[in-house]
Amino acid sequence: MTTRNKLKNIAALSFILTAIPVVSAQPVEESSIPLPSAEQRTYLESREGSGTRGPSPVVSTTVEISKVPPDSIFFDEIKSGKAIHQPLQSANELLILLDPKLTGKEIRATLDVHQLDVINSIPQIGAIVVDASRRLGAAAVTSSTSSLSKMKDAPLDVLARDLAKDARFLSVTPNSLISSFALKSAVTPTFALPTPDMATERVDWGIMDSRFDKVWPLMTAPFVVGVIDSGFAPHEDLDTRAGLSGALKPIDHGNHVSGIMCAKHNGIGIKGGLKSCTVVQASASTMLTGGAAPEGGRTSRFVTHFSEYVGTVLDFMEANPTVRVINISLGYNWMPNFNIDPRTQGSEQIRDVVKNQGRIFASVLAYAKRRDIALVMAAGNDSSALNQPLEAQWASPFNYGAMLMAEKDGWANALIVQAHGPDNRRAAFSNISGDVSCPGVDVLSTLASGTGEYGELTGTSMASPYCAAGLVAVLGLRPELKLREAIACIKGGSEKIDGSVAKLNVQHAVSECKK
């Protein structure tokens, strides 16, 4: 079964698909990162090549955690004396990026030698998900509890390192579980009480900080924004339409992201970054491991397999050919979920997983670059309890993949977004080494708890939509720019946060940045 048949089963996605009013006719720049041959893709789309199983099962390797930072959504539970079991990866699955020149016959022969069974494929980038149970034999498990320090010796991880020696495999990694970047303040909103100026429409600090208001007079054509998130609800300040079939769950995160981008300029509530903007909403079903409820419990709220998420991003590129910007807000959550700094001694296996999954996502970016699409990614929220902030490359495979592409091609069709507050300083939780910084502290936007409800949330998930909206504005208002040039304009603001990363300045990017 290919990923296209599994869209309604993907969990907890939080990314923004944005169709802009003007599509640039500029030549598309392709990546030097290879993609599968036509023959290989055809095979991986066939019944034989795409495997025999649909979405990943709930069987996972979990790790016991007894300490997390105070801003973790699990802090109160652990403080009460309960250890929690966090899902880390599928118990017996590996994700493999194939040599793009391999034929179907060669793929079959290679997998037979290694005693691996294909259970799913991602044909756009030449990747497969395999069940290693036959190869693992008695070491295969139906469930598991371990510790991060012992994972390097787990049979599946040892097998991944062994298979990586085969030159026909460009990357081999356990099929990790990733979750939305969630601080306490990104889960539970601070409700905005009705005030006189709410009746006359408020402009949140982040809009003015990023200078969206300065280019509103130029926004005469409509914008259409697609948002795939954990859930949505009707709201008086949002123009929406369904992007996929299926019921939508009323969850604040999706509405909040939508409002940052597209809250109506209608005299009530708040104003979003883009004028005349319709949100195309879609929600995937929530896949959880460990039997936890979506709003907390003993596992992360929204969890999906890395392979499922990658396949969904690729399928949406194909299904939405006018979309040119995708915003992503998922990652490993090393500190909030596991209380571990991946840079420390003894965390080599963790860094290897990030590198291998980043290599796979670099292929996703190469596929996107071929279609003239940019991906905007949250830097992550690991840093509040660290003496030295975490580099964003270790927070998610998406960020690491963007770094690899920049090294390979000289530029990446991606933006990694840090968060800052009204004081123009990096937010304590925000990771570093991003491309741009956007407002991410106490951001006011629309909520799902009522048709007229507004509230504040905090996190790099709030910062990333500002940057995505900014890039959309540049591409729409300056169609003469190539994608590479538009990204450079977003990164080119003269004002720096903590003297290191450019602060988003939409006015500069639209009106002053030179080609």
Query: pLDDT tens digits, residue range 294-312?
Result: 333 333 355 778 888 888 7
Q: What is the mean pLDDT of the chain?
A: 84
Domains and CATH numbers, the chain: 1-20+35-190+199-515 (3.40.50.200)
Question: How many CB atoms lie under 10 A from the CB of residue 200?
Answer: 10
216-234 per-position pLDDT tens digit = 999 999 887 777 776 789 9
Please answer whether residues 415 and 466 qualify as being in contact, where contact means their C-beta atoms are separated by less than 8 angstroms: no
Could you give the CA distance from residue 112 to residue 455 in angstroms, rounded to a whole number? 55
Q: Which residues 6+ apart lie within 8 Å of 257 measured at CB?
A: 14, 16, 227, 229, 327, 329, 445, 461, 462, 465
Please answer whether residues 264 and 297 qualify as being in contact, where contact means their C-beta atoms are separated by less than 8 angstroms: no
3-state secondary structure (DSSP) of residue 196 = helix
Q: Which residue has the higher pLDDT, 314 or 484?
A: 484
Tell whether the model's pLDDT for residue 74 goes beyond 50.
Answer: yes
For tokens 């996190």, the residue is 459
Q: Which residue has the higher pLDDT, 435 or 337?
A: 435
β-bridge mates for residue 33, sequence order: none
Average pLDDT over residues 120-139: 93
pLDDT reported for residue 77: 83
Q: Which residue has the higher pLDDT, 19 or 59?
A: 59
Could you give the CA distance from residue 465 to residue 159 in angstroms, rounded to a whole number? 39
Question: 285 to each of 153, 290, 304, how far by Cα in Å?
Answer: 33, 16, 10
3-state secondary structure (DSSP) of residue 151 = helix
Could you give the CA distance from residue 411 to residue 402 in angstroms, rounded to a whole number? 9
Please answer whether residues 229 and 254 qualify as being in contact, where contact means their C-beta atoms are separated by less than 8 angstroms: yes
Please answer whether residues 332 and 178 qualify as being in contact, where contact means their C-beta atoms are separated by less than 8 angstroms: yes
pLDDT reported for residue 8: 32
Q: Which residues 6+ apart lie within 8 Å of 165 measured at CB?
A: none
Please name the residue ranges forming H helices in 348-428: 348-370, 397-409
Question: Kindly report the CA angle at 153 between 149 and 157, in degrees rounded to 5?
Answer: 105
Could you give the CA distance from residue 187 to residue 177 in angstroms, rounded to a whole number? 19
Pair of tokens at residue 318: 């194909």
Tell whether the model's pLDDT for residue 127 goes beyond 70.
Answer: yes
Could you give the CA distance from residue 270 to residue 198 in angstroms, rounded to a whole number? 7
Could you give the CA distance from residue 41 to residue 102 in angstroms, rounded to a whole number? 10
Please answer whether residues 351 and 302 qualify as being in contact, where contact means their C-beta atoms are separated by less than 8 angstroms: no
Could you give the CA distance from residue 318 to residue 7 in angstroms, rounded to a whole number? 13
pLDDT reported for residue 298: 32
DSSP codes joined into one string, 198-244: GGG-B--HHHHHTT-TTTGGG--S-EEEEEEES-----TT-EEEESS
Could you give the CA distance from residue 180 to residue 172 in angstroms, rounded to a whole number? 24
244-298 per-position pLDDT tens digit = 666 677 878 888 988 998 899 998 899 999 999 876 665 544 343 333 333 333 3
Pair of tokens at residue 328: 């992503």
Average pLDDT over residues 167-192: 82
β-bridge mates for residue 146, sequence order: 63
Tell whether the model's pLDDT for residue 369 goes beyond 50.
Answer: yes
Average pLDDT over residues 199-228: 89
Question: 365 to each of 17, 116, 142, 185, how far by Cα in Å?
Answer: 15, 27, 34, 31
| 308 sits in which H/E element | helix 306-319
Question: Kindly report the CA angle at 118 between 113 and 121, in degrees rounded to 5?
Answer: 130
Please answer whether residues 185 and 381 qualify as being in contact, where contact means their C-beta atoms are separated by less than 8 angstroms: no
pLDDT reported for residue 244: 63
